[in-house]
A and B are shown apart, each in its own frame.
Chain A
Amino acid sequence: EVQLVESGGGLVQPGRSLRLSCAASGFTFDDYAMHWVRQAPGKGLEWVSGISWNSGSIGYADSVKGRFTISRDNAKNSLYLQMNSLRAEDTALYYCAKDKGGYFYDHHAFDIWGQGTMVTVSS
């Protein structure tokens, strides 16, 4: 079964850090680009970051650039998001999503989504 399982969310104070993980199974992980997409409570979808199959190309939304770092470990079939200097506006459900292609900048669609992990930034 093709599956993405996120973990690492929780309640964190403003200015602190959190690391999200996404475990992939059921497909050849190192063939595809991967992304993080978030959804604030009651709001729409917002792309956060993407990484190509070989980590050779990476991109970030302006709202997180310089604070978040995406990475992947193809040997472990895992995707990560290191989130530093967290702000209240980063509060959201964070989804891990698989791209149909291998390069995040040659984006066709997100064909597999995890169930999400909730990040709440509050004092």
Chain B
Amino acid sequence: QSVLTQPPSVSAAPGQKVTISCSGSSSNIGNNYVSWYQQLPGTAPKLLIYDNNKRPSGIPDRFSGSKSGTSATLGITGLQTGDEADYYCGTWDSSLSAGGVVFGGGTKLTVL
């Protein structure tokens, strides 16, 4: 059972938009920065969004992040078949003994 809650799967057609939610609490998302990662099959995770809504250089603006209260959302527009991957949210959690990083359980994106 992950500390952060994500839907197990989402799907949409090429060219469409999809959103992935990440729900937490005041000890994690509510008071800390959220990041999002894309993990293509058989590869290491890749940073997509940091500090809730910032994109590293090289990440297209089709990817966006937002945060409100104790929830965060990853948005992907103009879906491409190459976007099929697992997506994870992550943040710091101060409720753990001495604190620690927590992740969502991951969301598998299928581009139909």
B56 touches A111 (CB 8 A): yes
A108 touches B35 (CB 8 A): yes
A108 touches B50 (CB 8 A): yes
A116 touches B44 (CB 8 A): yes
Q: How large is the interface on A (under 10, 10 to 19, 20 to 34, 35 or more residues)?
A: 20 to 34
A37, A50, A106, A110: most-surrounded residue (chain B CB, <10 A): A110
Q: Contacts A45-B90, A107-B33 given; indicate if A59 touches B47 (C-beta within 8 A).
A: no
Q: Give the residue name and chain of the A residue nearest to B102 (CB).
A: A47
Measured CA separation A35–B106 after assembly (Å): 19
- How many of B's residues come within 8 Å of A, CB to CB? 29
B88 touches A45 (CB 8 A): yes
Q: Contacts A45-B88, A45-B90 given; indicate if A109 touches B50 (C-beta within 8 A).
A: yes
Q: List 13 A-B contacts (CB under 8 A).
A: A44-B86, A44-B88, A47-B100, A59-B99, A65-B97, A105-B92, A107-B91, A109-B33, A111-B47, A111-B56, A113-B46, A113-B47, A115-B43
Instruction: List residues of B whose CB falls within 8 A of some A CB.
Output: 2, 32-33, 35, 37, 43-47, 50-51, 56, 86, 88, 90-92, 96-106
Instruction: List residues of A whose CB falls within 8 A of some B CB.
Output: 35, 37, 44-47, 50, 59-62, 65, 95, 100, 105-116
